Structure 1
Amino acid sequence: MELGIGMFGDNHYDTSGKPLAAGERLRELIEEIKLMDEVGIDFFGIGEHHRPDYAVSVPEIILAAAATVTKKIKLGSAVTVLSSSDPVRIYQSFATIDQLSNGRAELMAGRGSFIESFPLYGFNLNDYDALFDEKLELLLQIDRQQPITWKGKYRAPLQEQEVLPRPLNDHLDIWLALGGTPQSVVRAGKLGLPVVFAIIGGNPAQFQPLFQYYKELYESFGHDMTKFRVGVHMHSFFGENSAQTADEYYPVYSAQMNRVGRTRGWPPFQRDQFDYGRGNEGAYLFGDANEAIDKILHMHELFGITRFSAHLDVGGPSHASLMKAIEIYGTRIAPKVREALRR
């Protein structure tokens, strides 16, 4: 099982609650990814957002910068909002990263849980589903066909057009991010693409039928089961002491939940929600190394996952605390998980 880290580049805030300029957080991200590589984390994914509470709007620029200071770690998006992107340009960008990193690039496509990119790039939100379907089709065709001839509804057609550069082995590793709807599971199963389920609340066991459904669909459509890959993405944060880590992280985490919640009509985030999520039946990994090891192994047992992604920077915790969390993950958690799975 691959063990990796996902981030959104959550911004830091001043004492008045105003987000700081993005530059500091972006430079910190590069240092954090470099440390991930040094401690043996398998992959890193960075999200795309267009809001003041996030510093990263163009994941591929962060990944290109990270490619120059890392040697082994896989570098991908988490996610690229494909519905409001141009698949040709996106493919070129990630193929460039793949060449720059000597074959370590990944692209995780998703519809996105925020909608700011649609008006920003001139797309109609009413076309939310249709845009994703068409653009995913084009993205996959670009990966499989060179030159490409294609025609759709939302983009100018392509006629015997070369899309350059090509990835290192003329193939880009393309994943799908799923939020948990049966329709998205069917799409992924038909296409035979690797998937990551975002489990960021509730009891993870409730997702078990969707994992099983995806596996059954993948197999029924005749895809090679030796290439079957499925993962989970969960909110995480690691420290030396479980209770102390939770107490220090709660204000950071709840502040971000409330910033997002105000735009979506959510009630204020409560400490009992936080504590439940940290429990055996919750979806949070906020605590010490031993708790994280147990919960990651439980996810593997529950779902048969081949990848676990720890989302570490929700709320914009300090750079120092993130560096410590990365160190704990790479040197204490990941080795124990790998050892347990080899038994």
Structure 2
Amino acid sequence: MELGIGMFGDVHINEKTGYVQTPQQRMAEIIEEVKLMDEIGLDFFGIGEHHRPDYAVSSPEIILAALSTVTKNIKLGSAVSVISSADPVKLFQDFSSVDNLSNGRAEIMAGRGSFIESFPLFGYDLSEYDALFDEKLRLLLTLNNDEVVNWKGNFKMPLINQTVYPRPVQDKLPIWVAVGGTTSSVIRAGKLGLPIIFAIIGGDPANFIPLFEVYKQAYVDNGHDESKMQIGVHMHSFFGDDNEKVADDYFPIYGAQMNRIGASRGWPKYSRPQFDFGRSTNGHLVVGDKELAIEKILKYKELFGLTRFSAHMDVGAPSHLDMMKSIEIFGKDIAPKVR
């Protein structure tokens, strides 16, 4: 099982003083954090795409290009690229460039995104949300599979005998599909034989078992090699030396971000009992010491048949020092025991 870290590039916000961390500072921190991940042997890093003031990264491929020159082994990918509002040709070119810079370590995680800001920003109709994703994902796969492309769709002019440059170092870029709880998205990934990663960010993870089974059935029914099936989860995580202290220290940071997001979505105020349930045996949070983390990750491996676990570690923007400590615990104490 691959073990790695996903981030959204949250900027630190002090609501009492009004201080908002600059993207410049957060990006510099991310570079240092991923250098540490590479040094201690984590398998992959993913960075999200957002177009909001509380996140520093709008173009994952730019950060990944910078990281490709200061890391040696870690896989570098998006988490996610919002494929519905992207140009698949430019996206493929950008990640192929990262693949060349990193000597074959780039991957794309395609998703519909949990925010909608990119649609008006790039001139797309939100009512065509699913159709855009389906067509653009299929074009991206065509670009990845065929050197000379002939393609026609509904949202882009046809491509006739086009070759996209540069080509990646790898024979093909790994392309994952990230999903929440939408059954149609799960079935599509299975039919296409693509690796899938489930974002489990609330409730009891066991409730996702039917979706995992739907994916596996669609994958097998469409003739794909079961031995090559790749399944991952993306879960909010944070680690410290003391189980209760890390919870007490992290709750105000995590809760503040949940409330910032929830304010625009009509969510009730995030509470400590919610947080504590999330950390419990049947909860979705992997927040605590190494023993808690090892137990939970192995439980999910058994429950879902995972080949990848992604710890989403910067929710609410903990301090850089605390992030470095959490990464170190994950890489040096948790990952070896899980493996």
Q: Which structure 2 residues correspond to residues 133-212 of structure 1 after superposition, within 5 A?
A: 133-212=134-213
AA matched with 1:59: P
C-alpha distance in structure 2 between counterparts of 1:75 and 1:17, whole Å? 33
1:290 aligns with 2:291: yes
Shift of 1:18: 4.3
C-alpha distance in structure 1 between counterparts of 2:289 and 2:32, whole Å? 23
C-alpha distance in structure 2 between counterparts of 1:43 and 1:114, whole Å? 24
C-alpha distance in structure 1 between counterparts of 2:130 and 2:20, whole Å? 32
Shift of 1:276: 0.3
| Identity in percent | 63
C-alpha distance in structure 1 between counterparts of 2:212 and 2:245, whole Å? 34
C-alpha distance in structure 2 between counterparts of 1:27 and 1:129, whole Å? 35
C-alpha distance in structure 2 between counterparts of 1:217 and 1:131, whole Å? 22
AA matched with 2:321: A
Deviates further, 161-170 or 72-81: 161-170
Deviates further, 173-182 or 318-327: 173-182
Q: Which structure 2 residues correspond to residues 1-343 of structure 1 after superposition, within 5 A?
A: 1-14=1-14, 15-338=16-339
TM-score of the aligned structures, taking structure 1 as reference length: 0.97
AA matched with 2:194: L
C-alpha distance in structure 1 between counterparts of 2:283 and 2:218, whole Å? 27
Shift of 1:16: 2.5
Cα deviation per residue 1:117-162 (whole Å; 9 max; x = unaligned)?
Answer: 0000111111111100110110001111121111111112111111
C-alpha distance in structure 2 between counterparts of 1:104 and 1:303, whole Å? 26
Q: For residue 341 of structure 1, what is the aligned residue in structure 2?
A: none
AA matched with 2:98: I
Aligned length: 338
C-alpha distance in structure 2 between counterparts of 1:17 and 1:207, whole Å? 39
AA matched with 2:260: R
Root-mean-square deviation (Å): 0.8
TM-score of the aligned structures, taking structure 2 as reference length: 0.98
Stretches (4+) displaced over 3 A: none
Say if 2:99 and 2:170, in contact at 8 Å, map to a contact too: no
State the SS of the aligned residue for 2:264.
helix
C-alpha distance in structure 2 between counterparts of 1:263 and 1:182, whole Å? 25
State the SS of the aligned residue for 1:264.
coil
**Runs of 5+ consecutive residues of structure 1 not aligned to the other structure:** 339-343
State the SS of the aligned residue for 1:235.
strand
AA matched with 2:12: H
C-alpha distance in structure 2 between counterparts of 1:19 and 1:134, whole Å? 38
Shift of 1:169: 2.8
